[in-house]
Structure 1
Amino acid sequence: MTPAPVIVSLPIADRAISYRFYRDGLGLEAVGELADDGLPEPLQFVVNDGLRLMLVPTGGFGWVIGRHEVAPRGQSECLLNLTVDSPVDADTVVERARAAGAEVITETSDHPWGYAGVFADPDGHLWMVSAAES
């Protein structure tokens, strides 16, 4: 497996729930060798050719970052943005995420910067879905 130039790592509470959410809710492909629980370890998803998303159980995440504490659920230090081709595609992604367990924070709509909506994944990480064209 060739490493991606950029890997974004997020702390998660439950590997199986997060796996299903990112596979079913965002349609991302998981990569890697299967562990005893039947899920890839490390749990990574291909976002595009240059970016992977790695989901790390909170205990393991703390091991990696040392004394820095993981932000409590509901307190986000970043907003992840997923750009799609059109407003219809943005609506589709947000609805698919909702069906997979996302909490929609801001429904998709027109904004001064374009068409976008925001949802939280099962661990509270915020994702904005924005259309490249409005």
Structure 2
Amino acid sequence: MSTKIFINLPVRDLPRSRDFFTKLGYSFDPQFSDENAASLVISDNIIVMLLVESFYGTFTKKKIADAHETSEVMIALSADSREQVDELVDRALASGGQPTGETQDHGFMYGRAFEDPDGHHWEVTWMDMSAMQEQS
């Protein structure tokens, strides 16, 4: 069984969010995108639904977190190399994202993080699985 993961994130300015993630090299599924939502395709099995806050609010009775003030989730993505980590995070920062945390370099594992324009925390990490197995 192939499980798909759908992450729903509230956004204040949907066009700005679409532009930000397009600059990172991602695409959107037009079948599930409109003026209230954009279906951000991370991979075949991972979709991030960027939902305008008022629309997001129709799915919950809870107060919507302001990700600039409160940590509600950390989204971690894997990369194929250290260079790919740097490329993606550098594009995010050049496109309006903000750096968060320090670069993590443990030799066999390397990661950096950024916040998108709505303050959502994204981690990008590469791991050398062969080096990890040698250490165990």
TM-score over 0.5 (shorter chain) = yes
Whether the 8 Å CA contact 2:10–2:51 is kept in 1: the answer is yes
Equivalent residues in 2 for 1:43-54 (5 A)? 43-54=38-49
Whether the 8 Å CA contact 2:108–2:127 is kept in 1: the answer is no
Equivalent residues in 2 for 1:1-134 (5 A)? 5-25=4-24, 27-33=25-31, 40-41=33-34, 42-65=37-60, 67-72=61-66, 73-111=68-106, 114-133=109-128
Moved over 3 A (4+): none
CA distance in structure 2 between the partners assigned to 1:93 and 1:127 by the alignment = 11
Deviations 1:31-70 (A, max 9, x none): 1149xxxxx32310111111111000111111111x2111
Using the size of structure 2 for normalisation, the TM-score is: 0.82
Larger Rg: 2
Percent of pairs with identical residues? 29
Task: Give the number of aligned pairs.
Answer: 124
Q: Would the alpha carbon gap of residues 122 and 21 (structure 1) be closer, same or farther in structure 2, given more than 3 Å must change?
A: same
Whether the 8 Å CA contact 2:111–2:123 is kept in 1: the answer is yes
CA distance in structure 1 between the partners assigned to 2:104 and 2:14 by the alignment = 32
* Amino acid in structure 1 at the alignment position of 2:9: L
In structure 2, the gaps of 5 or more residues are 132-136
Deviations 1:104-123 (A, max 9, x none): 11353404872111100000
In structure 1, the gaps of 5 or more residues are 35-39
The offset of 1:5, in angstroms, is 2.4
The offset of 1:86, in angstroms, is 1.1
Instruction: Point out the structure with the larger strand share.
Output: 1
* Amino acid in structure 1 at the alignment position of 2:30: G
Instruction: Point out the structure with the larger helix share.
Output: 2
- Provide the alpha-carbon RMSD of the alignment: 2.1
* Amino acid in structure 2 at the alignment position of 1:122: P
